[in-house]
Every structure is written in C-alpha cells, then in structure tokens.
Amino acid sequence: MNRKRQYLQTLLIGFGLLLLNNTGSGADKYAGHSDVVFEGDSTLHAFTGNITNVAVLVLCDTNASGVAMLNARIEISPKQLTTHHEKRDANMYKMFQPDRFPKLIVVVTNAPLNAAKLSPAETTSGSGVLPVQLTFCGITKPAQAKTANPHSLADGWEFDLATEISLKAFKLEPPSVLFGAISVDDTVKIKAHVKVQREITKP
C-alpha cells in the first residue's frame, strides 16, 4: 500500500456528521453513514439524544506539497435531533430558532489527515484530532474532534469520534423551568460512530 493510499484510508476514521457538497474531479470519495449521540446534564437529570443514519460523503486529495487533505460539509435540520421526549424536543427546537437558521452546519476545510492518527497502527500513540468549524444560529466556532477505535472494513473503515460544545459560545439559551431552578448545563458532549467505504468510479 503506497503512502497516498494509506493517508486516504486514514482520513475515513475522522468523520461523522459530514456530507460533502462539492466533489471536484480527481479526488477519492468514500461514502457511508453515521449515528450520532449527544449528551447533556441539568440540575434535575441528565439527558441524551441522537441523530441516526446521517449520510456521510468524504473527499480526499493531495495538495501541492503531496499532503493528503480533507474537505467536507454537512447540513442538518434542527428537527432531525431528538431526545425522544416531546416537550424537551420542542424546547430544543425553539432554542435553535429554525425559522431564522434552518441548518446546523459542520465544515472541514483542508484538514491534514496525518494529524488524525487513525490507522490501527497509530492508535497506540493516542487519539487523533481533526479540526472542524461548527455554525449554529449564524455563529461559527472551531472545535477539535477526537478520533478513536478504528476498524478495517472491506475497502473502508468504521470508527468513533467525539467532541464537546459550549452552548454559550453559540449564544444558545436552553429554556429553564420553575423560575430558573431547573436549567441545562452549558457543555454538551457529541459522539459519533461512522462507517464508510470507498466509492468505485464506473467507467
């Protein structure tokens, strides 16, 4: 396996939550899906939610220096999120102001794949890191996604990734109840499990 192909496979471990909008010619594409779980806490109890079967399409090519780079993007409607609790979901959707901001956006731009450390041989040196840009309610902030637990598939991979966000950083204000006696903590953890396989170009 040559160095370029090794890097191309490495990139696949890094992304869940990413749907590519612009695929360009000459690059390698890998497609699959991701299941995402988000976890939070409040003064009353912890809660979890999820997004299932998110389409994933990853594009990788090398830059002028021969370094493998990733570019990808995903757009999610707030109403794709669910905590499986009707009233809590209604409050969550209200927080994201979907009438003004219909999409939650995650973007990766020219991310070097060797920083991911995602091939099974590299995981002994620690988890990998991939930089992402998150846009919620018109505010864009950087985040670091940690990657772990890669496993080989037929011409592809499956893997985990995780990050945390601050609601205040995006000026998100979850509703409180009982005059503020019950409120949601600021930090929300996001975890994803991703499976992707290389797309075969038809002649």
Q: What is the pLDDT of residue 124?
A: 58
Q: Are 50 and 66 in contact (CB under 8 A)?
A: no
Residue type, 25: S
Q: What is the pLDDT of residue 70?
A: 79
Q: Is 202 exposed, middle or buried (0-12, 13-18, 19+ CB in 10 A)?
A: exposed
Q: What is the pLDDT of residue 183?
A: 74
Q: What percent of the residues of the chain are helix, what percent strand, and what percent coil, each to the nearest 5?
A: 20, 50, 35
Q: Is 159 exposed, middle or buried (0-12, 13-18, 19+ CB in 10 A)?
A: buried
Q: What is the pLDDT of residue 64?
A: 87
Strand partners, 70: 60, 111
Q: Which is it for strands 139-153 and 156-166: parallel, antiparallel or unpaired?
A: antiparallel
Whole-structure pTM value: 0.77
**Cα separation of 31 and 59, whole Å?**
9
**Cα separation of 146 and 186, whole Å?**
20
Q: Are 163 and 146 in contact (CB under 8 A)?
A: yes
Show the low-confidence residues of the chain (pLDDT under 70).
Answer: 1-26, 44, 117-126, 175-182, 201-203
Residue 89 DSSP code: H
**Cα separation of 156 and 29, whole Å?**
11
**Cα separation of 166 and 77, whole Å?**
19
Q: What is the pLDDT of residue 71?
A: 79
**Cα separation of 20 and 158, whole Å?**
18
**What single string gives the DSSP state of each residue in 129-144?**
EEEEEEEETTEEEEEE
Strand partners, 68: 62
Domains of the chain in start order, with CATH, are 3-198 (2.40.128.110)
Q: What is the pLDDT of residue 202?
A: 60
Q: Are 171 and 135 in contact (CB under 8 A)?
A: no
